[in-house]
Amino acid sequence: MSERSEVSGLSGTGPSGTNGSAEYVRRAEKLDAADELAPLRGLFTLDDAVYLDGNSLGALAAHVPGRVEDVVRRQWGELRIRSWEESGWWTAPERIGDRIAPLVGAAPGRIVVGDSTSVNVFKALVAAVRIARGEDGGTPADGATAHPVRDEIVVDASTFPSDGYIAASVARMTGCTLRPATPADVPQVVGKRTAAVLLNHVDYRTGRLHDLPALTAAVHAAGALVVWDLCHSAGALPVGLDEHGVDLAVGCTYKFLNGGPGSPAFLYVRGDHQDRFDSPLPGWNSHAEPFGMRGDFEPAEGAPRGRVGTPDILSMLALEAALEVWDGVSVDAVRAKSLALTDFFLECVGAYVPPGLVESLTPAAHAERGSQVALRCAPGIDAGAVMKLLVERGVVGDFRQPDVLRFGFTPLYVGFADAERAARVLAGALTA
């Protein structure tokens, strides 16, 4: 597969007519027939709609309801308190973290599951600042014994709002200045005053994929730490946390990992940072002796330092069940299909949609594309109304103010016929 999509933009000639549509339908059929991931679709509860909103909420794996019923009826209803040990409730945060680890390129023992993405961003960013300054009792991140004052946090200027809110709060709490910057500008922005950098791997609006290896290296060259938000990349493409020396990372599990609405997020701490991870939210679950009920806090070893309070068992075990669909699935194969799907969708949009009605905000280059396509509607077109009409006609995407249509492609259950149908229905909705 080429590094750059053959689609250079949405400059097609508009509706291709019956013969043109038939050509794309035939191509979709051939691509679906050759798709090694196609059988996975049967593992999910889906209807006749084309579901392209997995970048907001993943589809339900068919076996999860039965598993949740067992958790409620047997583990909670019959075993009750015994389930903390007999059903493995107590170790669930680390156990499920180890299931997520290979999907983001992490070794076992480096991910813990629990709390929301926002809470984990807070924990990770405060800890990053403390490590960078040597406030955890260790040597500063840059190795200096007389280190400069690191009083600046750099945040992705296009970040998801919650990340920005939390970064601003952390800056106030730690006496830092908050400095927004585009990811492309980070290598020029970071310096001796930088303590930590918070970046999104994939832009939630446009689907642009940022260069995690290069940006991580640039932050490290400045003696700072980097925190990556993986909400729109975990389960959609290879991440390589260990390989690229990422310091800390967080991600949600209800998008491409299909964990269910509000399923707990995950926190990654690099192996050599774990003894220095100084959580701003120490809780009894992150204590070295959680049942000792001691008045002084002694942090646990390893990933459990990222725990806080009692785990949310119902949603956590639903997530664990959902992750079983990944057994035997290669993230590289998922990435290859994702790129092929988005290429094909963009090509169909270029063929079906009259020129000038939409433009793609998602990069054509594979190295810069996540697993969604964002289309901006031309002035005068009510994007919200267009998406409402799409949903009514069986194509479910989502809308972002003021004019962006987002289509998330989850390769585990979205096929090429789905992509063709979505483009065809979109053309009809835009010209209705």
pLDDT at 164 over 90: yes
Q: What is the pLDDT of residue 186?
A: 98
HEC string of the chain equals CCCECCCCCCCCCCCCHHHHHHHHHHHHHHHHHCCCCHHHHHHEECCCCEECECCCCCCEECCHHHHHHHHHHHHHHHHHHHHHHHCCCCCHHHHHHHHHHHHCCCCCCCEEECCCHHHHHHHHHHHHHHHHHCCCCCCCCCCCCCCCCCCEEEEECCCCHHHHHHHHHHHHHHCCEEEEECHHHHHHHCCCCEEEEEEECECCCCCEECCHHHHHHHHHHCCCEEEEECCCCCCCCCCCCCCCCCCEEEECCCCCCCCCCCCCCEEEECHHHHHHCCCCCCCHHHECCCCCCCCCCCECCCHHHHCCCCCCHHHHHHHHHHHHHHCCCCHHHHHHHHHHHHHHHHHHHHHHCCCCCEEECCCCEHHHECCEEEEEECCCCCHHHHHHHHHHCCEECEEECCCEEEEECCCCCCCHHHHHHHHHHHHHHHCC
Whether 399 shows a pLDDT value over 80: the answer reads: yes
Asked which of 7-11, 165-169, 247-251, 277-281 is least confident by mean pLDDT, the reply is: 7-11
**pLDDT tens column, 276-301:** 999 999 999 999 999 999 999 999 99
* 225-238 per-position pLDDT tens digit: 999 999 999 999 99
Q: Which are the catalytic amino acids?
A: 160, 229, 254-255, 406
Q: Mind listing the domains of the chain with CATH numbers?
A: 17-37+330-430 (3.90.1150.10), 66-326 (3.40.640.10)
